[in-house]
Amino acid sequence: MVLLFISKSQYFKLLKKYIFILSPITSNISGEHRNCIRVKNTTDVTVNDCKSIHPIEVTSCSGHCDTESMYSMGANIMMHSCSCCREMKTSIKKVQLKCSDDRVIDHDYVYIESCKCTPVMCENQKTSG
């Protein structure tokens, strides 16, 4: 048996490599592990008393992005690195709605074209003790 002593940053780097090898999650060119994807669903849209004439395709973003927590000796705080699965590019689409009084109106909605893991602010916490 061989014991290795490594720093926490080296540990996280090794852990990320093993997670990548063992999991079906994809990796981009910089090695960021994620599976943030655009999901399509077909549904009827209802606004007030008006309903879409035909079902429409709506989109959302879904998946998991990298998150990391590590203690900083120098700053005496837990450092956090966070990202979330969010829309990257959107467009406005129109749908025709038929109202209960037989009017037909146009309604705009946001259509997600692409999704991406996006860095977000996480709170760093001072340790107690």
**91 lies in some domain:** yes
Q: What is the pLDDT of residue 89?
A: 97
**15 lies in some domain:** no
CA-CA distance, 110 to 26, in Å (whole number)?
A: 27
Domain count of the chain? 1
pLDDT over 50 at 26, yes or no: no
**19 lies in some domain:** no
Question: pTM, whole model, 2 decimals?
Answer: 0.62
**10 lies in some domain:** no
The label of the residue with tokens 């990257």 reads 88
CA-CA distance, 14 to 35, in Å (whole number)?
A: 20
Q: Which range marks the domain in which residue 66 is found?
A: 35-126
CA-CA distance, 35 to 20, in Å (whole number)?
A: 11
CATH code for the domain of 39: 2.10.90.10
Summarize pLDDT for 85-121 with one digit per residue, the tens: 999 999 999 999 999 999 999 999 999 999 999 988 8
DSSP string, 88-101: EEEEEEEEEEEETT
pLDDT over 70 at 10, yes or no: no
